[in-house]
Amino acid sequence: MDTLVIAPTPLVIGNPDINPLEASRSALVNAATQTGSLIANYAQALCMMFDIKDATGKTIAKWYELTGKEKKGIKAERAKFVAAMVEKGFTKGEGKPSATVDTYWQRVKEASGYVPKGRVKGATDTDSKTLEGLKTIINRILKAEEDGEEPEASNYKGELMDIFSALGGDVDTLG
């Protein structure tokens, strides 16, 4: 019996020298690499428009910290943002915004300086984040030992504490 092999035929639209797969991949990659700068630009614009500054121009309240009447402009801008995202198709049905909309808004807030609860303020570089992570891990092991547990992780506690110390952590602050 003969085997029939079906090979995809490239779809050529417009210019036959342009491969649509390559063109669409390139467009996606270019858009993906611009997302960070686009978010940063929008965050900067929000800061310029809504941060409260003193007479010298020093920021005294960030836009995401505002409450009450001061937050009115932010609420209106967020509504416009959500509407634009929904119009682009970011919905979870019935015209309601998807989680993607909230994720992008959160990224804009963070690009403006917002530090989410549970994150360490100022721990933005890899070593600082690693130091905080190690502190959490070591404290978890110490707590388990205090509670009478014998976790296997206890076998590595000394090495973890050495690394914590080498990265600038104070082992006296553990526990």
Answer positive or negative: Cα dihedral of 118, 122, 126, 129.
Answer: negative
pLDDT digits (tens, 9 = 90+) for 29-73: 777 777 888 889 999 999 999 999 999 999 999 999 999 999 999
Domain positions in the chain: 20-111, 126-173
Q: Is the predicted pLDDT of residue 12 greater than 60, yes or no?
A: no
3-state secondary structure of 99: helix
The mean of the pLDDT values for the chain is 83
Is-above-0.75 flag for pTM? Answer: no
Residues 162, 165, 170: CA angle, nearest 5 degrees: 135
Q: Residue 91's pLDDT is what?
A: 83
pLDDT digits (tens, 9 = 90+) for 146-167: 999 999 999 999 999 889 888 8
Measured between alpha carbons, how far is 144 from 136 in angstroms, rounded to an integer?
Answer: 12
Six token digits for residue 33: 């690499």
Q: Is the predicted pLDDT of residue 10 greater than 80, yes or no?
A: no
Q: Is the predicted pLDDT of residue 102 greater than 80, yes or no?
A: yes
Six token digits for residue 100: 């993607």
